Chains A and B, each alone.
Chain A
Amino acid sequence: MTNIWYGSLLLLLSCLATDGLAADKTEGEDTSVNIKFDDVNESEEPEDGAFPYAPPIEQLFSNPAIAHGLASGADALNRSVESLMDSLFYSILDSEKNFYMTDDAWFNTTLKRDVYSTPSGAFVVMDRFQLGPRYAKELWRLHNVPISLGIDGTVEVLQIYLRTDGMRLAEQDELSPPRRWLNSWFGLLPLASTVMPPSFNQNELYDPLTELKTPFTFPLDLEGFYSMPVGSIRSYALSGGVQVGADLGGAQGQDSRETLDRVGGLTMTVPYAIFKRGEHRINVLRRSEHSAWIGVKDLRRVGHSISPFIGTKYSVFRAALAAKIFDWDWVWAGVPIAVLPVDLNFEQAIADLFDQVYEYDMRNPSAREAYEAAVKGDFVPSKLRYLDQKEKGVDTGVTFHFARVQDRKEEISRNGPNLAVYRRERKRDHGEAEIEITDPDGKFYILESSLAVEDKNWDVLVGDEQGRVNQSVEMKVRRVVPSNTDGDLATGHASYTYAFEADPDPYRLTMSLSIQDRYLDTVEYYEYLDDIRFFTGLDLETTPKIRLRDPEVEEERRRSIYFAEPTNEAVNVHVTPTYLGRFGAQATLSFSTQQLERIIATPEDDMWASFARAFGADDNEWRQEDVRHSFAHQLNWYKSFFLFPTRLLNIRISQADAIKESTQAIKELLLLKTLTTPQDKLDAFNRLLDSDYPRHLAHVLLDLANPADVPRRVTFSAQPKGAARHEVKTAYGKLNGMVFKAGPVFPEPTRYARAKTKLANFYLDQPRESSSKPHILTIEVHAKPVPASVRSLEEEPDTNVQEIDRNARHVFVTVTASGLNKDAEAKLYVRVAQAGKIKIGKLELAEKVLQLAPKEAIGATSDVLTYEFYLTGPLSPLSNFMLNQAVGSGDEFLVTLGVSRDGTVWSDERALEFRFEKGRLSPAN
């Protein structure tokens, strides 16, 4: 009886409840939401002569993200993962199988897919197949240190192609139903995309059949070439090597083994190896519809390496899934996750590298013939056809770009703890090279010293942020053969030296800083700006000023948290710095010979003062020689010494290392005063660039030079994203395309720089000439009813005519775009998702490629075209149950759009957010 009373009481209380205490609702005014996008200047040659800094030319045809993968074939590639969820799913398409022939020999097959994002929003998919024998045998064991021999040979095939959401959907329309189902994993992929977090990327898993076809995709004939998507690359390589190694970790004591094991099953290895490796690789790029580029690369490397490692691998979710089918028991092995608190690699090598690049117009029969020989490794027909064209004027369709021979000394290191959910990694590539290049104008020589330092921080929540500094000294030289070389030639020793070319600017130092962050908040934004100011000396005054934290959200929090219960303190998260979106910046400095000479001529005391300023020390003290020689000053070395072990964890403290860095750099600068020959200068510059603080070095050199005479340039890219208020996003969006310059114009590109610039065009996010890519200029959204001209909604003869609600208003989208064909229908990619961060699902409501005819051209000669469509309502081509439900109950929506002429080359994706509720449209909160 009591229970009945209790239930009745509950009902009564519910009915007594009134709306009087509910928050007042305000009705927003109707408005339209529109965004005008800045058209970023994408011309290949900047108007002031500055050229983009390209990675070393040996990274032939490689995207920056995959450069290391092409070079080493190692599993060191970092997938652009945004969440742990990614790695759980994407490993489905990775497979490795070993077939053992003996205990020491086996056959390895690997099939792997990696996906990289590009600033334009497109993804680069790399499917890789490897096949080859392996041999590893322990030869001896000395005091628990195993000495082993390893031999391997590998055939590798890669296919690298662009993938956008628009391409994926457009392609679906042209596929047979079985293939369509297979590509989407029988419908599971779209379903997963609907419920998974925003980081889930369908392209990681889409179309598994293409990955399986990788071993058979190399375009050995014309048909194979034309089956390649425009902008894609096919590559195959034969590689192999031999190494003798010793695991020095075996010498550790039993106590340390047990300690590591207790900590969490950790193990330690310190393999040291002497190696010799070789690779022959052929790359084919479908540059445009009928244009093929073929590059060949031969690489020989001899060196030694050491790779200290402490860590282990855990299997997460092991046995979370299991099945029993008759007598077969299956238990899921889980997802392997590496936890590597210490993970280092250091390698020194001497490398001989040869590469050359030809271009073929596939409409020309001679070029086709030369192409078919070249992809099989025979470049003689290509050379003959090129000479026919150059010397006899015969149109053969074969163009020779360059050939290069290079002798390099390399120091490559990698350092960074990887804790599965957090990784902090530094890659460093330092070396010098003698380069002989042959291009259509003849042969020339370059001496080059370079340093590339890439810092990458990655965490499981927001993905990676990356900073890269490149420094390169290039010397224009000629070979000088001494008159009495007969003896040297007979003995095979080097018979030439180098002298500077008769050029007013024979050597030049170029420094560049590149920053990419996929998840930028306001704190990072200001840190990056400070970083760029420090590097370039530019004030960047007109960059957008954005409050660190949204004052409106802070006020809202204070109003509600005033009454916070003490037991809820742990979830009362402060207002964090505002998330702004994606960020990119590229800064370049260029020091001429004259400026470098000026730096070198600086008095030593001024050099010390400049380094002190860069590292935050007292420049007045460091300037004085007696202070520098004092005992107190020399004590600074202890800081660097005692903090050296922190480098194992990739932690560096600049103040502690200031004295070490300054001493080394000043020593080389002073030495450069006395050196005259190119080789001696090259060695000294190489040691000068050998720094762990390249940003500080750039700051010092700029300080010692006359900044007004140093060409400097910064270009920003910004893509507003996330839940920030419209005003904040608009302010941040203004950063996109901003360029800051100072000093004289950059010099005209040298022949070598021109080759590098040409190579930069091969980055995979630019599958065709950028001018051919369409661009979305504006998107406007407003609410309007179904036009009076529409009398019924009957779509099929046997369906009933629906009643039209003439008062209801629906979301209507107007898009203007350039680069489309006004005489044909354009493809418009549309994705609608609920806006905001929903932690267990992004709630994708609709995704489709529409074919729309343009409304009108703006101006008789303009190529700006307008397209319109209903996003919601009975006339919406996107209408489905989920979208209609969401529209019916009112919500905030995120609409992503892209346009294309043909479904292959797409514009950059653009997105906008708005709120639509009961026919009222307003900007998103």
Chain B
Amino acid sequence: MQRFWLKLALLTWVSSPALAQSNGSQRKIMFGTCELSLDPATPEGRENLGVLSCIKASLGTELVFVSGTPEENSWLKYGNIYGGLFLTPWLAVQARGKATDQIPLGDVGEENRNARTDYAVVQIGNPALQRVRMTAGRMRLPFGVDRTEAPENYRVFEDRRFWQSPEHGAALTFDNLTSFQADIGYGTNAYADRTIPDAPSGTDENEPLKTATTIRIMADFAALDGSRLVLSGYGGKDGERRMGAAFTSVSRKEDLTVFEFVRRLTTPSGHSEPFSQLLRMAYVGAWRGDTRWVVQFDDERYRFRRGIIDYDAKLYDHAILRFGVAYHKSESGDDQRRWYVTSGMEARL
């Protein structure tokens, strides 16, 4: 599976100049940064629309050095590819696949490969134009912010239980296109032959999910150039309940600040347990010249506190060097504090 995704990414990359034909002012196939040349809400912009596609891909590798325990050093390779086919302003198909391969450099652990489809959906309605939209297919149900720009090795240990959902589903969106958006999602694993995606290592929660319903309400206000309050709820038929509250702010230069809080009330099996809780604070700086900063802090109740400061620099428009320092304090395992230094390189379309 991993080889498939890597090959697809390579093929896309190499063939990109040939595919990058343009028809009039609007490029029909876009790579990397995808943007219309005209406002789609104007008659001229609508005329300029046709069948459009957007392709993004990245490949990268990261080395992780652990202070004090060199046997935990590791090497991570990763890649992901995205494709979107926008047939009309009403209909689009989008998919993203991810692959990671973590290879231990010391004596601890073993190679961990993972390749999967993040989502593959049909979207009826477009967020730029339509107030009511529907998304269906293999997807993450709308819940919380669920977004990180931290280095891949930091993401590997992300506790996905706070955002996970059944694999297949649909979401209905009402968006007033000015300040408010509500999403209602319904998902099921009835058509999936697999266990919980991304279950954190060391957990025994590997029984299949059944069905779940989510709701997410987002309200925007003018503070700090543009801010958003996100309130989410998740209810699974198996008894799991989650609630989330988040604040995001995007500056005019695209600096992104996120505060996210998620509380998970029961286990998927329906047995009650003391709640688990995650608090995330993240800052993703805009690219200023050829550099940017990414800062993220995660506090999971009774499991860990960890954070990373990451500095990214562009070598060329499509090659990025990443350098980060991370801290991880375990509160459930060996109760140790670890400092990590990570460096990596990524090629992007």
Instruction: Across the interface, name the chain B residue whose C-beta is closest to A20.
Output: B17
Contact pattern, A 807-823, Cβ under 8 Å of B = 1, otherwise 0: 00000000000000000
CB within 8 Å of B: which A838-888 residues? 838-840
B318 and A559 contact, CB distance less than 8 A? no
Q: Is A560 an interface residue (CB 8 A)?
A: yes
A838 touches B253 (CB 8 A): yes
Of B54, B128, B295, the contact of A561 (CB 8 Å cutoff): B128
B38 contacts A559, C-beta separation under 8 Å: yes
Determine which of B38, B39, B94, B249 lies in contact with A839 in the assembled complex, contact meaning CB atoms within 8 Å: B249
- Given A9-B10, A563-B84, A567-B118, check contact A461 B224 (CB 8 Å): yes
* Complex contacts, A575 vs chain B, CB 8 Å: 178, 226
Contact of A570 among B86, B118, B147, B347 (CB under 8 A): B147
Q: How far is the CA of A19 from the CA of B33 in the complex (A)?
A: 13
C-alpha gap A461/B257 in the complex (Å): 13
**A575–B175 CA distance with the chains assembled, in angstroms:** 13
A21→B31 contact, CB < 8 A = yes
Q: How far is the CA of A558 from the CA of B41 in the complex (A)?
A: 8
Q: Across the interface, do B34 and A563 meet the contact criterion of CB distance under 8 Å? A: yes
Q: Assess whether A573 is interfacial by the CB under 8 Å rule.
A: yes
Asked if A3 contacts B223 (CB within 8 A), the reply is no
**Which candidate, B214-222, B234-242, B268-276, B328-336, is the interface stretch facing chain A?**
B214-222
Which residue of A519, A555, A570, A891 is within 8 Å of B223 (Cβ)? A519
Binary per-residue interface labels of chain A (556-569) against chain B in the complex, 1 for a CB within 8 Å, 0 otherwise: 01111111111111
Nearest CB to that of B121 among chain A residues?
Answer: A566
Q: Are A570 and B145 touching (Cβ within 8 A)?
A: yes
Are the CB atoms of A567 and B96 closer together than 8 Å? yes
B residues 2-39 near A (Cβ < 8 Å) are 10, 13-14, 16-17, 20, 30-39
B72 to chain A minimum Cβ distance, whole angstroms, is: 19
Residues on the B chain within 8 Å of A569, using CB = 127, 142, 173, 181, 183
Contact A565–B345 (Cβ < 8 Å)? no
Judge if B61 is at the interface, Cβ distance under 8 Å. Answer: yes
Q: Are A555 and B316 in contact (CB under 8 A)?
A: no
Q: Is A10 at the interface (CB under 8 A from chain B)? A: yes
Complex: A616 Cα to B86 Cα, angstroms: 48
Enumerate chain B residues within 8 angstroms of A480, measured Cβ to Cβ: none
List, in ascending order, chain B residues with CB within 8 A of A567's CB: 96, 118-119, 140, 146-147
CB pair B36–A559 under 8 Å, yes or no, is yes
Q: B223: which A residues are within 8 A, CB to CB? A: 459, 461-462, 519
A836 at interface by CB-CB < 8 Å? yes
Contact B127 A14 (CB under 8 A): no
- Does B110 count as interface, using CB distance less than 8 angstroms? no
Among B37, B89, B218, the most chain A Cβ lie within 10 Å of the Cβ of B218
Contact mask for chain B residues 115-140; partner A; CB cutoff 8 A; 1 contact, 0 none: 00011010100111100000100011
Which residues B168-199 have CB closer than 8 A to chain A? 171, 173, 177-179, 181, 183
Which residue on A lies nearest to B319, using beta carbons? A14
Tell which of B35, B59, B121, B252 has the most Cβ of chain A within 10 Å: B252
Given contacts A576-B221, A889-B289, contact A570 B94 (CB under 8 A): no
- In B56-83, which residues have CB < 8 Å from any A CB? 59-61, 75, 77, 82
Return B181 CB to nearest CB of chain A, in Å: 7
Report the Cα distance A578→B347, complex, angstroms: 37
Is B283 located at the chain interface by the 8 A CB criterion? yes
In the complex the two chains form, is B146's CB within 8 Å of A558's CB?
no
Question: Distance in Å from the Cβ of A884 to the closest Cβ of chain B?
Answer: 15
> Is A17's CB under 8 angstroms from B316's CB?
yes
Known: A559-B38, A837-B225. A13 touches B318 (CB 8 A): yes
- Output the residue of B220, B226, B346 with the most chain A CB within 10 A: B226
Q: Is A521 among interface residues, defined by CB-CB distance under 8 A? A: yes
| CB within 8 Å for A838 and B255 given contacts A563-B34, A563-B54, A576-B227 | yes
The reply on A670 being an interface residue by CB < 8 A is no
A442 at the interface (CB under 8 A from B): no
Complex interface: chain B residues within 8 A of A20 (CB): 17, 20
In-complex Cβ contact of A573 among B41, B52, B129, B250 (8 A): B250
The answer to whether A462 touches B224 (Cβ under 8 A) is: yes
Q: Using Cβ atoms and an 8 Å threshold, which residues of chain B touch A262?
A: none
Contact A461 B227 (CB under 8 A): yes
B251 within 8 A of A: yes
Whether A562 touches B126, Cβ cut-off 8 Å, given contacts A461-B223, A839-B251, is yes
- How many chain B residues have a CB neighbour from A under 8 Å? 92
B135 cross-chain contacts in A, Cβ below 8 A = 566
A570 touches B146 (CB 8 A): yes
Q: In whole Å, how far is A885's beta carbon from the nearest beta carbon of chain B?
A: 10
Q: Is B248 an interface residue (CB 8 A)?
A: yes
Who on chain A is nearest to B77 by CB? Answer: A6
| Contacts of A553-600 to chain B: CB distance below 8 A | 553, 555, 557-579
Given contacts A558-B40, A571-B147, contact A17 B317 (CB under 8 A): yes
Within 8 Å of chain B (Cβ to Cβ): is A482? no
Contact of B228 among A7, A17, A573, A722 (CB under 8 A): A573
In the complex, what residues of A have CB within 8 A of residue B128's CB?
557-559, 561-562, 564
Query: Are B61 and A6 in contact (CB-based, < 8 A)?
Result: yes
Across the interface, A13 reaches (CB within 8 A) one of B32, B59, B77, namely B59
A13 touching B13 by the CB < 8 A rule? yes
| A22 contacts B by Cβ under 8 Å | yes
Contact, CB under 8 Å: B319 / A17:
yes
Return chain A residues, CB-CB under 8 Å to B230.
570
A325 and B251 CA atoms in complex are apart in Å by 43
Q: How far is the CA of A578 from the CA of B221 in the complex (A)?
A: 10
Q: Does A523 make an interface contact (CB < 8 A)?
A: yes
Give bound CA distance, A579 to B318, whole Å. 35
Q: Which residues of A contact B317 (CB under 8 A)?
A: 17, 19, 21-22
Q: A839 to B183, alpha carbons, bound, how many Å?
A: 28
Identify A564's interface contact among B127, B256, B289, CB under 8 A. Answer: B127
Q: Which residue, of B32, B128, B139, B249, has the highest number of chain A Cβ atoms within 10 A?
A: B128
Q: Which residues of A contact B33 (CB under 8 A)?
A: 21, 23
Q: Is B233 an interface residue (CB 8 A)?
A: no
Residue among B13, B135, B221 with the highest chain A CB neighbour number at 10 A: B221
Write the nearest CB–CB distance from B162 to chain A, whole angstroms: 14
A57 CB–B CB distance under 8 Å: no
A383 contacts the other chain (CB 8 A): no
Query: In the complex, A567→B30 CA distance in Å?
Result: 19
Q: Are A14 and B147 closer than 8 Å at their CB atoms? A: no
Given contacts A567-B118, A570-B228, contact A561 B316 (CB under 8 A): no
- Which A residue sits closest to B177, measured CB to CB? A574
Query: Which B residues are in CB contact (< 8 Å) with A837?
Result: 224-225, 251-253, 255
Is B166 interfacial (CB 8 A cutoff)?
no
Q: Check A573 against B227 for contact (C-beta < 8 Å).
A: yes
- A336–B230 Cα distance when bound, in Å, is 26
Q: Nearest B residue to A579 by beta-carbon distance?
A: B222
Bound: A570/B32 CA distance, A:
21
Closest Cβ neighbor of B290 among chain A residues: A889
Q: Do the beta carbons of A10 and B35 come within 8 Å of each other?
A: no
What is the 8 Å Cβ interface bit string for chain B, positions 307-336, against chain A (1 contact, 0 not)?
000000001111100000000000000000
Q: Is B151 an interface residue when CB atoms closer than 8 A count as contact?
A: no
Query: B126: which A residues are within 8 A, CB to CB?
Result: 562
Chain A, residue nearest B14 (CB): A16
A652 lies within 8 A of chain B by Cβ: no
Give Cα A9–Cα B345 distance, bound, in whole angstroms: 12
What are the nearest 3 A-B pairs in CB distance? A17-B318, A14-B319, A521-B222
The 26 listed contacts between A and B (C-beta, < 8 Å) are A3-B77, A6-B61, A10-B319, A13-B319, A17-B317, A21-B20, A21-B32, A23-B33, A462-B223, A519-B223, A521-B222, A560-B35, A562-B126, A567-B146, A568-B147, A569-B181, A570-B216, A570-B230, A571-B145, A575-B226, A576-B227, A723-B252, A837-B225, A837-B251, A837-B253, A838-B253
Known pairs A523-B222, A569-B127, A840-B285; list 7 more (Cβ under 8 Å): A3-B77, A14-B316, A17-B347, A21-B20, A579-B225, A839-B283, A889-B289
Binding site for B on A (CB under 8 A): 3, 6-7, 9-10, 13-23, 459, 461-462, 519, 521-523, 549, 553, 555, 557-579, 722-723, 836-840, 889-891, 925
